[in-house]
Amino acid sequence: MDALNRDTDLNYGQSRKYHIITYGCQMNENDSERLAGQLRGLGYSSTDQIEQADLILINTCCVRESAEKKIYGKIGELKRLKTVNPNLLIGVTGCLSQKDRDKIFTKAPHVDLVMGTHNVHQLTDLIKEISQSRDRVLAVWDQAERLAPDVPTVRKSQVSAWVPIMYGCNNFCTYCIVPYVRGRERSRPLADILAEVRQLGTEGFKEITLLGQNVNSYGKDGEETIDFADLLAAVDKVETIARIRYMTSHPRDMNAKVIAVIKHGQRICEHFHLPVQSGSDIVLQRMNRGYTTEYYRKLVEKIRSEIPHASITTDIIVGFPGETDELFMQTLDFVRSIRFDAAYTFLYSPRSGTPAATMPDQVPLAIKKQRLQQLMAVQNEISLAINEALIGQTVEVLVEGPSKNDPDKMMGRTRTNKIVLWNRGKEQIGQLISVRVLKAQTWLLKGEVAD
């Protein structure tokens, strides 16, 4: 803390403002909060108005080409602001920085800082360096330190907080860039995780989400003697927290022990996000997912027999190389028979450097798009039917705040992670309330506060 106070005294960012734009997954959301924490330590305050910012950070994602294109477009747009304010600092952080490194400077000479995923904790020092030298800085380590030091965090929500439990991924699914840009699996020490969760409880947070690319691998890198189920059980004992979630769990590593802890736990939400990716065994094998459709089906049966009211959601990629019409039909049949509460569906996007990018029989874009439409139509019908079955029921909702689209409505989530909207009343943000479901849509429920 001393160092931070001294920095503020030195006036690095006094009365200066920052604006952070975040793309990608929850890992990036959490990294952005840690970037914000360091900027706050330097005396910066946050602004929603990008034109007023003295420092803009773009925290990037490269999981699909569409994300990349959008981000390069955004970086290009910022050039205009730099003409207006030559003192403006622009930094690009996150997974695209890790992947493209100095290519970002070549494409966008107006960028001052390119920082990789393993360098998040260095922002304070890097800003000082740039402020003094006025030179561009590239900070992209190839590998992570085993565990980066903790840095202060400025959280976006007052109700719900991310808690990283492990970093990186060892799975190397053949389509995926994440292991290349996030490095190998590193588990965070249990004591640090518990300390953070307890602190969050003391600060009034009601919900925490344990984060990792593959949370079920927790402890497997040998640094901790406990596994993910033990970790969940330990976190479940923190009484000040009302709800515990986790993201993402790999179906291959989800097991009876974890399911039992969730079943018997008090706080762990009955929501399983288990990305299946495809309903074809041939495709699953080419993806290197390490399970079959039969295995996945049994896993879902086990979850539903132990925890009947659990919700199950998934991710699915269409148009993986070699996916024929017939193999795609197997995915449609699988989705019809499993009946997911919701599915996040993606067009396969070749990522250079990954094995799938050079596999034969790449699927034309037009066919991928057609398949996506078909898949979404099937899934939407199922999601709607499952949600309609909730009409008339009363559900426990954690109040998150006003709805973004309609400030007269309040928004919250059920334990099963369904979004619920209702007319604004006396309820407080962070409160657990009962809501009677009146209407159902594909992605949300509408209701009224129950007495």
Q: Point out which residues bind ligand SF4 (CB under 6 A).
A: 169, 171-173, 176, 178-179, 213-214, 250
Q: Which two tokens stand for residue 307?
A: 């925890």
Which helix or strand (DSSP H or E) is residue 368 part of?
Answer: helix 365-388
Residues whose CB is less than 8 angstroms from the CB of residue 227 and which lie 6 or more positions away in sequence, other chains included = 218, 219, 220, 257
**Token pair 């439990």 is at which residue?**
165
Residue 173 known to bind ligand: yes
Q: Which two tokens stand for residue 163?
A: 């808690």
- Rank residues 265 and 275 by Cβ distance to ligand SF4 and give the closer one: 275
Give the nearest residue (CB) to ligand F3S: 24
Choose the contact partner of 315 out of ligand F3S, ligand SF4, ligand SAH, none; CB within 5 to 8 A by kind. ligand SAH
Sign, CA dihedral 75-79-81-82, equals: positive
Residues whose CB is less than 8 angstroms from the CB of residue 14 and which lie 6 or more positions away in sequence, other chains included = 8, 43
Residues whose CB is less than 8 angstroms from the CB of residue 377 and which lie 6 or more positions away in sequence, other chains included = none
Q: Which two tokens stand for residue 207?
A: 């919900």
Choose the contact partner of 24 out of ligand SAH, ligand SF4, ligand F3S, none; CB within 5 to 8 A by kind. ligand F3S
Count Cβ atoms within 10 A of the Cβ of residue 422 and give its class: 0-12 exposed, 13-18 middle, 19 or more buried.
buried
Residue 176 known to bind ligand: yes
Closest CB 176 distance from ligand SAH, rounded Å: 4
Whole-number Å distance between alpha carbons of 285 and 250: 15
Count Cβ atoms within 10 A of the Cβ of residue 431 and give its class: 0-12 exposed, 13-18 middle, 19 or more buried.
middle
For ligand F3S, the binding residue among 13, 17, 27, 241 (CB under 6 A) is: 27
- Rank residues 27 and 262 by Cβ distance to ligand F3S and give the closer one: 27
Residue 169 known to bind ligand: yes
Choose the contact partner of 28 out of ligand F3S, ligand SAH, ligand SF4, none; CB within 5 to 8 A by kind. ligand F3S
- Rank residues 95 and 114 by Cβ distance to ligand F3S and give the closer one: 95
Choose the contact partner of 62 out of ligand SF4, ligand F3S, ligand SAH, none; CB within 5 to 8 A by kind. ligand F3S
For ligand F3S, the binding residue among 24, 164, 168, 212 (CB under 6 A) is: 24
From the list 194, 196, 167, the residue with the least C-alpha distance to 182 is 167
Interaction of residue 113 with ligand F3S, rule CB under 6 A: no
Interacting stretch for ligand F3S, rule CB under 6 A, among 21-29, 81-89, 309-317, 368-376?
A: 21-29
Choose the contact partner of 351 out of ligand F3S, ligand SF4, ligand SAH, none; CB within 5 to 8 A by kind. ligand SAH
- Rank residues 300 and 449 by Cβ distance to ligand SAH and give the closer one: 300
Asked if residues 341 and 312 have their Cβ atoms less than 8 Å apart, the reply is: yes
Number of H helices, E strands in the chain: 15, 19
- Rank residues 213 and 311 by Cβ distance to ligand F3S and give the closer one: 213
Residue 62 known to bind ligand: no
Whole-number Å distance between alpha carbons of 259 and 301: 12
- Residues near ligand SAH (CB under 6 A) are 63-64, 175-176, 178, 213-214, 248, 250, 275, 277, 315, 317, 346, 348-349, 351
Whole-number Å distance between alpha carbons of 263 and 257: 10
Interaction of residue 182 with ligand F3S, rule CB under 6 A: yes
> Residues interacting with ligand F3S, by CB under 6 A?
24-25, 27-28, 61-63, 94-95, 177-178, 181-182
Which residue ranges make up the annotated binding site?
25, 61, 95, 169, 173, 176
